[in-house]
């Protein structure tokens, strides 16, 4: 993945570039708006992290100009300005995401990966997923734990699919019910969600995954931390 980092603060740029390299990105650094614009237009990039407060040409202008030529390029705006107007201006100019400084690196990385997934969203990319010992193949509708096939009813499949897609985030009961409705899985009441969760939990035993109940909200799929 080659990524352009347009950031004028040398200390931040240095550290961020290093962290991104550790995370497996190839980094080019642009210390000002003019360089950033030149590089963005000349070369091809998978991703761009753009500071708004750049010298020479400000980030918003760079973004607008680049957007005209490269509407596909995912751009994450990283800025010290977090008020509503700046956000709206940034998103209007064509930013795909917006993160304010100071940030947590894991969050930045997660957002970059999400942007990448979206930009390379060929159906194949999402087709199969692995988490813990679980392998989840959507196109062939097959799942397995440590190679052992997992039998799932249509409702259980939809439920696990949803939990996997939204891993580490809360999936509400309403969302589960909606997913079932849209898949036209066999009919059933809202209160039977608990039953299905219970079944899927048992089937996931030994996979290193656990479904956590979030009081009053729904469920969350997480990888079990090694004890």
Partner 1 sequence: MKTPPSPLMLRLTRFVVGDQSLHKQLLLWLLLPQLVLWLAAAFVTYNVAARYANRAIDASLSQSTRSLARQIKPVGSGLLIDFPKAAIDIMDADPDDRVYYMASTPPGQYILGSSSKLPPPQLNGPPKLGEPYFYDAVVDRMPIRVAALYLAYGDAKSRQLILVQSARGRARRDELARSILGDTVLPLSGLILLMTMIVWAGIRAGLAPLARMRALVEDRAPNDLAPLRIEAAPQELRSLARALNDLLAAVHESVAAQRRFVNDAAHQLRTPLAGLKSQTELALGENVDAAQHQRLERVHESAVRSAHLVNQLLSLARAEPESALAQHSSRVDLREMAREVTAEWVPKALQASIDLGLDDAGDDARPVVVQGHPLLIREALQNLIDNAIRYAGPSSEVTVGVWRDGAFGVVQVADTGPGIPPDLHRAVFERFVRATHEGSGCGLGLAIVKSIAERHAGQVSLSSLAPHGLQVRIALPLVR
Interacting residues with partner 1 (CB under 8 A): 9, 11-12, 14-16, 18-19, 22, 51, 53, 80-85, 100-103, 105, 168-170, 172, 212, 214-218, 220, 222
Please report how close the Cβ of residue 186 comes to partner 1 at its closest, in angstroms.
Answer: 25
d(CA 80, CA 62): 17
Residue with smaller CB distance to partner 1, 54 or 159: 54
Smallest Cα–Cα separation from 199: which of 166, 162, 150, 164? Answer: 150
Alpha-carbon dihedral of residues 199, 200, 201, 206, nearest 10 degrees?
A: 120
C-beta closer to partner 1: residue 9 or 46 = 9
Question: From the CB of 108, what's the least distance to partner 1, in Å?
Answer: 9
Strands (E), 138-217: 142-145, 148-149, 170-172, 209-214
Shorter beta-carbon distance to partner 1: residue 13 or 73: 13
Question: In the complex with partner 1, which residue's Cβ is closer, 82 or 137?
Answer: 82
Give, in order, the Cα–Cα distances in Å from 78 to each of 105, 145, 166, 226: 12, 39, 24, 34
Q: How far is the CB of 225 from partner 1 (least distance, A)?
A: 10
Shortest distance, CB of residue 219 to partner 1, whole angstroms? 10
């Amino acid at each position: 993945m080659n990524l352009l980092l347009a950031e004028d603060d040398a200390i931040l740029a240095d550290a961020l570039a290093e962290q991104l390299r550790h995370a497996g990105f190839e980094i080019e650094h642009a210390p000002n708006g003019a360089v950033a614009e030149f590089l963005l237009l000349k070369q091809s990039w998978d991703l761009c992290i753009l500071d708004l407060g750049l010298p020479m040409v400000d980030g918003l202008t760079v973004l607008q100009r680049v957007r005209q030529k490269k509407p596909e390029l995912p751009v994450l705006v990283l800025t010290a300005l977090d008020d509503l107007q700046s956000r709206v201006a940034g998103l209007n100019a064509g930013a795909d995401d917006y993160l304010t400084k100071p940030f947590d690196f894991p969050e930045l990385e997660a957002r970059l990966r999400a942007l990448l997934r979206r930009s390379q969203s060929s159906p194949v990319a999402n087709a199969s997923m692995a988490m813990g010992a679980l392998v989840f193949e959507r196109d062939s509708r097959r799942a397995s734990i440590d190679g052992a096939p997992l039998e799932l009813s249509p409702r259980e499949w939809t439920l696990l699919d949803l939990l996997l897609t939204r891993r580490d985030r809360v999936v509400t009961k309403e969302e589960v019910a909606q997913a079932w409705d849209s898949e036209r899985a066999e009919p059933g009441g809202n209160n039977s969600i608990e039953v299905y969760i219970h079944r899927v939990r048992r089937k996931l035993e030994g996979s290193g995954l656990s479904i956590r109940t979030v009081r009053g909200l729904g469920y969350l799929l997480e990888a079990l931390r090694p004890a």
